[in-house]
Structure 1
Amino acid sequence: MDKVYHVPVLLKESVDGMAIASDSICVDVTFGGGGHSREILSRLGKKGHLYSFDQDEDAINNIQEDERFTFVRSNFRYLKSFMKYYGVEEVDAVLADLGVSSHHFDDEGRGFSFRFEESDLDMRMNQQGLKTAAKILNTYTEERLADVFYLYGELRQSRRIAAAIVQQRKNLPYKKVKDLLDTLAPFVKGEKEKKVLAQAFQALRIEVNEEMETLKEMLEQSLEVLKPGGRLSVITYHSLEDRLVKNFFKTGNFEGKVEKDFFGNFETPFRLINNKVIVPSREEEEANPRSRSAKLRIVEKK
Structure 2
Amino acid sequence: MNLSSKLHKAIFATGALVFSGVLAATPASAASPTAAKAAIVPATPAPAGAPALGLFSISASGQSVNEWTGNQNWTQIGGASAGIAVGPTGVVSIAPGSNNVYLNNGSGWTQIGGAAKQVVQDSSGNIFSISASGQSVNEWTGNQNWTQIGGASAGIAVGPTGVVSIAPGSNNVYLNNGTGWTQIGGAAKQVVQDSSGNIFSISASGQSVNEWTGNQSWTQIGGPSESLTAGGPGLISIAPSSLNVFAYTGSGWTQIGGAAKEVAQDSSGDIFSISASGQSVNEWTGGQSWTQIGGPAEHLAAY
Short-chain TM bin = under 0.3
Please give the TM-score of this superposition, normalised by the length of structure 2: 0.26
Higher relative contact order (CA 8 A, sep 6+): 2
Please give the TM-score of this superposition, normalised by the length of structure 1: 0.26
User: Which has the larger helix fraction?
Assistant: 1
